Chains A and B, each alone.
Chain A
Amino acid sequence: MLSFHLSALQVVIPLLAAPLCAIFRGPRISWLIALAVGLACAVNSLAILNQVNTSGEIIYALGGWAAPWGIEYRIDSANAFILLIISFIYLVGIFYARDSIKAEVPEHSRCWLYTAWILCFSGLSGITVSGDVFNVFVFLEVSSLSTYILISFGKDRRCLTAALRYLIMGTIAATFYLIGIGFLYALTGTLNMADLAERLPGLASQNTVAVAFGFVVLGLAIKMALFPLHAWLPNAYAYAPNAVTAFLAGTATKAAVYVFMRLAFAIFPDDFFSDLTSTHVIVLAAGIISAILTSAIAIFQDDLKRLFAWSSIGQIGYIAVGLGLASSAGVAASFLHLFNHALMKTAIFMAIGGLFITTGSTTIAALENAGRRMPWTMAAILIGGFSLIGVPFTTGFISKWYLVSAALEQNHWWLAGLILIGSLVTAAYVWKIVEIAYFRKNPDTQIVRQEAPLSLLIPTWVLVTANIYFGIDAQFTGSTATLAATAITGITP
């Protein structure tokens, strides 16, 4: 019986747990609740993936109201995979948060932080499992509102303006999305994804569909920080508490990417994204420009968090390139990079959090001699950085491999070349960090071992280990990404 409700539980558990934090108010109990939610949902998401892979798509009618009237949750290989990513990053993130948050957020507001965090997780899960486009909007706002709150807990006062700016951009994005699905509803009379997918092909030639598509794409592009609509991201990531940045980097933009994939490839008619409107060219161009340009901007940053925030925009660019290829292989590459990027970037931001706890700073200058003072923390940043470049034996290499072969499949050799050039630009900013941490000799300073506390190192290294493991044995991630792409596009790559 319980297994039948799995998909609903993924949203309901955090939704019910969030008020508990607000009721108990203790920072410790809030953290425990958040952790319990993480454990339950991580197990749950594994069970869902297992069920989807063995017995196919899960369809769940909320409250027993069957689809066109009620809201439906629909999980196939694609969202089961995304759900798995979000749940596990959340779990590791919460585990990490306890000591990291303790150092940054005053005691009386910690329970509110955890409340917002659990709500955010609930919203992200909801976006992923929902089979109803309006329901997606609601969850999008649930997750966004709680994200604004999470960012405003930062130590630096500039987190407030960052949160407000993100609020404005995020609301515009969500409203664009709302306009888009409004047009779709006016045209088809349904908000259910499966119904839309059935009815839209007959209407593909109507301008309304194209306009709706435009609004939806624009809204989601802002949410996923696709260049040039990325302006909200660097400050939001730079000023949020470290644990929050780590969590957001792995999850927030990913949910938007998923919705984008679902809409572009599964709901709108075949070839609508590519041949009929040629939108894919825009996404492809934005993606590859972003991958190179924002990585180049990252080189000139002095603050590590901001540097890696810019790098995140670049990595979203690679994901967009996979989408812009508008092929099953491209979507598979994007899925794979979603997963891999979540692993590497979360680990990096966690290690930066460790650096902050020991040195009180996240500037690049604070890294001087870090290679000796905190070898484990620094090694985590290093391996994460290598993975961003795409060095062999890390997940980043596997991502690049899939992406380049997807580009070559369509004979876009120039694109393959640009992707690889992007790697070199990435190498430049990673190398900047390496040189300061390992090769800058300062004979005057005494080298004191000051490693980050174990409670921060363990979750960081769990992710780093996963990063290397999936870089060597990509069978699981590769095949899951391929299945996900098949579920979304209907074509086996």
Chain B
Amino acid sequence: MSATTVQFYCLIAPLMAVVLIATLGRVVPKLYETINASVAIVTFLLVLSVYNSMGEAPVARLVLFEPFAGVAIALQAEPLGMLFALMASFLWIVTSIYSYGYMRGHGETNLARFNIFFAIAISSAMGVALAANGFTLFLFYEALTLSTFPLVTHAGTEKAKRAGRIYLFLLLGTSVGFLLFALIWTWKLTGTLDFQAGGVFDSDIGTTTLNALLILYVFGIGKAALMPFHRWLPTAMVAPTPVSALLHAVAVVKAGVFAILKVCVYIFGIDLLGELEIHRYLAYVAAFTIFATAIIALRKDNLKARLAYSTIGQLSYIVLGALVANAAGVVGGGMHMLMHGFGKITLFFGAGAILVAAHKTEISQMRGIGRRMPITMSAFFIGCVAIIGAPPTGGMWSKWNLLLGTVHSSDWLLVAALIVGSLLSAAYLLPIAVRAFYLPDDGGSTKIKEAPVTILIAMMISAGGCVVLFFAPDFAFDLMQMLVH
């Protein structure tokens, strides 16, 4: 089995879960999570095998269809996509373990629909990761939006439906209005949408056009949640926690920043990007988003809302890394995609665990909760450290590279934004842990009442991942080096 075809199986494998749930699961509903977890492991192994073969030789392009001449639905694994696929498929395993405890513990209904759309969403994320051209990327990007919609509105309440509408309107609106527009324009200009090292644009295309295109791309990829198109992310937090955790900390939002990185590296090329005046201003937008969301996060009392705004800010770090248009920035951006994924999923897991075990959602109610849920809150603390970017977590390496990138760009405003942003993230994350461990509990009870054991296992894996990535970031770093050279 060559790596070329295995790429296709990476997409198909998650869909196996759909078939299994629809057939087997109907008979034995208890099997949902087991099916998901085993399929997730298969998917991860498939991605891993593609990754291994990539060390020997570049993976060939696999054309699935060619809807019309010159535009194909094609897959091709490359370093950045590999990183994304590895992360998403690995964290899917962790999330399915987590779901065991959460969905039942929280008494959710409609589990068949939930698990089916979850699997479709993962398949779409794989498609985004492995897309060989802008067209394929767009197709799976939209599939991801549509398949996550039923997950966002899962609760079926009026609030959930309103959130769903905002979610769809912003994501479809930006992608159809700007991204598709930019893609067709690019196609008209160059005759290709293939991701090519060094970009696709000829030197004779005017800078005004290219500037306009870059704006369209950056804002068209609404999943990257760059201000002012960030509103969908906080509202989407009405979804059940596993959805928030995997999709809105890993798959969906990372699909967004991943697409921006792809466009910067493979459509424009870092060199051309650096020559365009507009990249600097867009970087300022990202810097502003980092700053503004940190301020908003500080004022949010709802834990999931605070985490949501934190996510928006952290995504802008990655966008900023792509837009400073140098090798270190891109390396930092790519690595932050991974590190933030592990860190943020831990935090969301923690929020869900607190909800299931202690039925609390507001940070002000969480005084002393660390004493009742020591394992949960320790993992939560590690997640906080990873997001802030301090040792001993992998977050340090990505923040370090991002900082290097901004220093290379010698734009001190961006450097300042990065540092202030990190300080602010410490300011809005650490008090949660401090409050949990050091302040006395309201009720006075110190009896240990942890979340279900599967939740704890999942949290330990993801928090452990943050630490492991501190000591072994090499594989990610090597992948990113392959990308920029």
In contact, B184 and A472 (Cβ under 8 angstroms): no
Q: Complex Cα distance A416/B184, Å?
A: 10
Whether A417 contacts B181 in the complex (CB less than 8 A), given A431-B168, A478-B68, comes out as: yes
Decide yes or no whether B57 CB sits under 8 A from chain A.
no
CB distance from A370 to the nearest CB of B (A): 16
In the complex, A427 has a CB within 8 A of chain B: yes
Per CB-CB distance, the 4 closest pairs between chain A and chain B, nearest first, are A392-B139, A478-B68, A474-B67, A408-B188
Residues on B with beta carbons closer than 8 Å to the beta carbon of A405? 184, 187-188
**Cβ 8 A contact of A439, one of B146, B153, B185:** B153
Q: Which residue of A has the minimal Cβ distance to B178?
A: A420
14 residue pairs bridging A and B, Cβ less than 8 Å apart: A391-B142, A408-B188, A420-B176, A423-B176, A424-B176, A431-B165, A438-B150, A439-B153, A439-B156, A472-B73, A473-B67, A475-B69, A478-B69, A479-B69
Residues A398 and B67 in contact, CB atoms below 8 Å apart: yes
CB–CB A475/B184 < 8 A: no
CB of A390 closer than 8 Å to a CB of B: yes
Residues 155-179 of chain B, each 1 if its beta carbon lies under 8 Å from chain A, else 0: 0100001001100110011001100
For residue A471, which residue of chain B has the nearest CB?
B67
Question: Which A465-480 residues have a C-beta within 8 angstroms of B?
Answer: 471-475, 478-479
Chain B residues, CB < 8 A from A393: 139, 143
**Interface SS, A side:** helix
Q: For B67, B181, B188, which residue has the most chain A Cβ atoms within 10 angstroms?
A: B67
Whether A185 is near chain B, meaning CB under 8 Å from some CB there, is no
The distance in angstroms between the C-alpha atoms of A186 and B67, with both chains bound, is 48
Inter-chain contacts of B146 with A (CB < 8 A):
391
Chain B residues contacting A478 (CB-CB under 8 Å) are: 67-69
* Residues of A contacting B173 in the complex (Cβ-Cβ under 8 angstroms): 424
**Cα A246 to Cα B68 with chains together (Å):** 28
Contact among A392, A409, A424, A439 for B177, CB-based, below 8 A: A424
Contact A398 B181 (CB under 8 A): no
User: B154 to nearest A CB, angstroms?
Assistant: 10
A404 contacts chain B at the CB level, 8 A cutoff? yes
> For residue A158, which residues in chain B have a CB less than 8 angstroms away from its CB?
none
Cβ of B66 < 8 Å from any Cβ of A? yes
Cβ of A24 under 8 Å from chain B: no
Which of B68, B138, B184 interacts with A474 by CB under 8 Å? B68
Q: Does B65 contact A (CB under 8 A)?
A: yes
**Contact A424 B67, CB 8 Å, known A392-B142, A439-B161:** no
Query: Do A421 and B177 touch (CB < 8 A)?
Result: yes
Q: Could you mark each residue 189-202 of chain B with 1 if its beta carbon is under 8 Å from any beta carbon of chain A, else 0? A: 00000000000000
Chain B min CB distance to A1 (Å):
38
Q: Does A376 contact B (CB under 8 A)?
A: no
Q: Which residue of B lies closest to A390 (CB)?
A: B176
Is B180 interfacial (CB 8 A cutoff)? yes
Which residues in B have their C-beta under 8 angstroms from that of A475?
66-69
Contact A473 B65 (CB under 8 A): yes
Given contacts A391-B146, A435-B161, A474-B68, contact A416 B156 (CB under 8 A): no
Name the residue on B nearest A411 (C-beta). B188
Residues of A in contact (CB 8 Å), total: 31
Segment 123-139 of B: residues with Cβ below 8 Å from A: 138-139
Cβ of A28 < 8 Å from any Cβ of B? no
Give, as a whole number of angstroms, the nearest-CB distance from A480 to chain B: 12
What's the least CB distance linking A61 to chain B, in Å?
38
Q: Within the assembled complex, what's the spacing in Å between the Cα atoms of A427 and B149?
A: 14
Binding site for B on A (CB under 8 A): 390-393, 398, 400-401, 404-405, 408-409, 413, 416-417, 420-421, 423-424, 427, 431, 435, 438-439, 441, 471-475, 478-479
Taking the nearest CB of chain A, how far is it from the CB of B439, in angstroms?
41
Once the chains are docked, how many angstroms separate the CA of A431 from the CA of B161? 11
In the complex the two chains form, is A409's CB within 8 Å of B188's CB? yes
A355 to chain B, nearest CB (A): 22
Task: Report the interface size for chain B: residues with CB under 8 A from the other chain.
Answer: 30
Complex CA–CA separation, A214 to B65 (angstroms):
45
Q: B141 — nearest CB in chain A belongs to which residue? A: A392
* CB–CB B184/A401 < 8 A: yes
Residues of chain B within 8 A (CB-CB) of A404 are: 180-181, 184
List 6 additional contacts besides A424-B172, A431-B168; criterion CB under 8 Å: A393-B143, A401-B71, A408-B184, A421-B177, A472-B67, A478-B67
What's the minimum C-beta distance from B103 to chain A, rounded to whole angstroms? Answer: 18
Alpha-carbon separation in the docked complex, A320 to B65 (Å): 30
Contact with A along B58-90 (1 / 0, CB 8 A): 000000011111010100000000000000000
Please indicate the chain A residues that have their CB under 8 angstroms from the CB of B143 in the complex.
Answer: 392-393
- Chain A residue with the shortest CB-CB distance to B161: A439
Query: B145: nearest residue on chain A (CB-CB)?
Result: A391
Chain A residues lying within 8 Å of B172, measured Cβ to Cβ, are: 424, 427
Report chain A residues within 8 Å CB of B153.
439
| B23 CB to nearest chain A CB (Å) | 16
**B180 — nearest CB in chain A belongs to which residue?**
A420
Which residue from chain A places its CB closest to the CB of B212 in the assembled complex? A413
Instruction: Tell me the smallest distance from the CB of A166 to a CB of chain B, in Å.
Output: 35
Chain A: minimal CB distance from B24 (Å): 19
The answer for the CA separation of A479 and B169 in the assembled complex, in Å, is: 34
Contacts of A400 in B (CB 8 A): 180
Query: Of A392, A409, A416, A474, which one neighbours B181 at CB under 8 angstroms?
Result: A416
Contact B180 A398 (CB under 8 A): no
Complex CA gap A421/B181 in Å reads: 11
Q: Which residues of the other chain, A, contact B161 by a CB distance below 8 angstroms?
A: 435, 439
Most chain A CB atoms below 10 A, which of B153, B173, B177, B188? B188
> Min CB distance, A285 to chain B, in Å?
20
> In the complex, which residue of chain A has the Cβ closest to the Cβ of B154?
A439
Q: Point out the residues of chain B lying under 8 angstroms from A438, CB to CB.
A: 150
A377 to chain B, nearest CB (A): 19
A474 to B135 Cα, complex, angstroms: 14
Q: Which residues of B contact A416 (CB under 8 A)?
A: 181, 184-185
What residues of B have a CB within 8 angstroms of the CB of A472 in the complex?
65, 67, 73
Per the bound structure, the CA–CA distance linking A486 and B300 in Å amounts to 61
Task: Please give me the residue from chain B that is nearest to A435 by CB atom.
Answer: B161
Q: For residue B185, which residues in chain A have a CB less than 8 angstroms away from its CB?
A: 408, 413, 416
Q: Evaluate contact between B184 and A441: CB separation under 8 angstroms.
A: no
How far, in angstroms, from A390 to B172 measured CA to CA in the complex?
Answer: 11
A441 close to B156 (CB less than 8 A): yes
A435 to B185, CA, bound (A): 33
A423 to B184, alpha carbons, bound, how many Å?
A: 15
Minimum Cβ distance to chain A for residue B117 (Å) = 12
Instruction: Return chain B residues, CB-CB under 8 Å to A391.
Output: 142, 146
Considering the chains assembled together, what is the distance between the CA atoms of A487 and B420 in angstroms? 64
A393 to B188, CA, bound (A): 21
Provide the residues of chain A in CB contact with B66, threshold 8 Å: 473, 475
- Shortest C-beta distance, A384 to chain B (Å), equals 15
| Most A CB within 10 A of own CB, among B143, B180, B185 | B180
Which residue from chain B places its CB closest to the CB of A404 in the assembled complex?
B184
A474 to B68 alpha-carbon distance, docked (Å): 6
Q: Which residue of B68, B138, B187, B188 is within 8 Å of A392 (Cβ)?
A: B138
Residues of A within 8 A of B165 (CB): 431
User: Which of B138, B150, B177 touches A420 (beta carbons < 8 Å)?
Assistant: B177
Residues of B within 8 A of A473 (CB): 65-67
Closest to A470 in B: B67
Cα distance, A479 to B176, chains bound together (Å): 25
**Nearest CB of B to A471, in Å:** 8
Q: A50 vs B302: C-alpha distance in the bound complex, in angstroms?
A: 66
Instruction: Give the nearest-CB partner of A409 in chain B.
Output: B188
A478 CA / B156 CA spacing, docked (Å): 41
Shortest CB–CB separation between residue A130 and chain B, in angstroms?
31
The distance in angstroms between the C-alpha atoms of A431 and B177, with both chains bound, is 17
B residues in contact with A435, CB < 8 Å? 161
CA distance A262 to B172 in the complex (A): 37
Please indicate the chain A residues that have their CB under 8 angstroms from the CB of B156 in the complex.
439, 441
Cα distance, A405 to B172, chains bound together (Å): 20
* Nearest CB in chain A: distance from B452 CB, A: 28
Measured in the bound complex, the distance between the Cα atoms of B176 and A424 in whole Å is 8
Question: In the complex, what's the smallest C-beta–C-beta distance from B177 to chain A, in angstroms?
Answer: 5
Complex interface: chain B residues within 8 A of A409 (CB) = 188
Tell me the bound Cα distance from A421 to B164 in angstroms.
20
